[in-house]
Structure 1
Amino acid sequence: MVALDMIAIMSDQILVYLQTKAVAKKSLEKNEHPFHRDDPVHALFLVTEGCVNLLRYQEDGSPAVLQRSGGRSILAEASVFSDHYHCDAVAATQTSILVVPVGVVRALLNNEPAFAAAWARHLSFELQSARKRAEIVSRAR
């Protein structure tokens, strides 16, 4: 099996497990915000349909897209251990999300080694993807 297939399987395992922990499902209209910068972190969001962008605004007011979370992805996973969100989230299209309490995610990471290992693999893949995007952007200049 190729590496990308393994990554997809690992991500699917995390998503399937986290879906069972969701306490709510929300529909977002285009341009609606599931959270804003400096809001307290109460939940992890799973995008089931549509797309949510994580944005940070530059000094000139222009947005920088830090993450595009499409269907079957985790939104703002880096905030699991933060007190407040460090960016704004905005629906790029009509979107459906599941809400998982951040305390539940933290408990899983502390008490379930298999989940913690899968989470670490997921974050590693996300970091590799971010570095690849940064490399592509730097070459375009």
Structure 2
Amino acid sequence: MTIVLLLQAIAADHMIAIMRMSISMLFQDARDTELAPGETLFMAGEEVSGIYWVRSGRVHLQRHTAHGALMVLQNAGPGAVIAEASAYSSRYHCDAVAAEQSVVAGLPKQRFLSALVDEPALAESWSALLARSVQAARLRAEVRSLPRVADRLDAWLGEGNRLPEKGRRQEVAAELGVTREALYRELARRRKADPGA
């Protein structure tokens, strides 16, 4: 990696930290909601009344396909806004479900939108966050378009992701858009090919 690329990466990481700090300040005094693993924060079709930010834990934005497969559309960890586009929608388009014990901060939608109008720096941070969300969604779509499970897993791991502990690997299958059985077969194939890994 050249020094220019390294400096660009450091600058990008610094900008992301500034954006998150700016957005987090908005949620500083917001009402907290604790969620147990598997508990639903909101469901598709419900009216959007609040905007939520993850304080701790992990919340999945998910949808079931016509064939019943679970698709994770967002894996929101600490510092992430859940379902960002819902700020501009009247109804949620997906379910938000806690993947683990989580705490989310919620603001009334109108208060959130008013803050964006009143604070240009916050609006700029929000725009940058939305742009990064679009990039992440495009990457997820690109990974899911790959025909083989092995290729999807390689692409996902190539983005710096790591496999979680054994009890939570079905979440990776949902992110990749494959069945957990298909993912487990691929992981078993890799272990057999490289027992030391």
In 2: Cα distance, 1:11 partner to 1:135 partner: 26
Question: Match of 1:77?
Answer: 84
In 1: Cα distance, 2:133 partner to 2:20 partner: 10
- Aligned pairs for 1:54-73 within 5 A: 54-73=61-80
Code of the residue aligned with 2:17 in structure 1: it is A
Code of the residue aligned with 2:21 in structure 1: it is D
In 2: Cα distance, 1:72 partner to 1:123 partner: 14
Question: Match of 2:129?
Answer: 122
**RCO (CA 8 Å, sep 6+): is it higher in 1 or 2?**
1
SS at match of 2:18: helix
Pairing 1:39–2:55 present: no
Pairing 1:107–2:146 present: no
Identify the structure with the greater strand proportion: 1
Contact 1:27–1:96 (CA under 8 A) maintained in structure 2: yes
SS at match of 2:41: coil
Aligned pair count? 139
Indicate which of 73, 87, 94 corresponds to 2:94: 87
Contact 1:21–1:100 (CA under 8 A) maintained in structure 2: no
Code of the residue aligned with 2:32 in structure 1: it is K
Question: Match of 2:28?
Answer: 20
Identify the structure with the greater helix proportion: 2
Larger Rg: 2
Pairing 1:97–2:97 present: no
Change in Cα spacing, 1:71 to 1:84, as seen in structure 2 (3 Å) is same
Deviation per residue, 1:66-112 (Å, 9 max, x gap): 10101121111110011110011110111111111111111112222
Question: Match of 1:7?
Answer: 16
In 1: Cα distance, 2:110 partner to 2:50 partner: 8
TM-score (norm 2): 0.66
> Which 4+ residue blocks in structure 1 deviate beyond 3 angstroms?
none
SS at match of 1:98: strand
Change in Cα spacing, 1:5 to 1:140, as seen in structure 2 (3 Å) is farther
In 2: Cα distance, 1:6 partner to 1:140 partner: 35
Structure 1 unmatched ranges of 5 or more: none
Code of the residue aligned with 1:106 in structure 2: it is L
Contact 1:7–1:125 (CA under 8 A) maintained in structure 2: no
TM-score (norm 1): 0.90
Deviation per residue, 1:45-70 (Å, 9 max, x gap): 11111111011111122211110101
In 2: Cα distance, 1:56 partner to 1:133 partner: 14
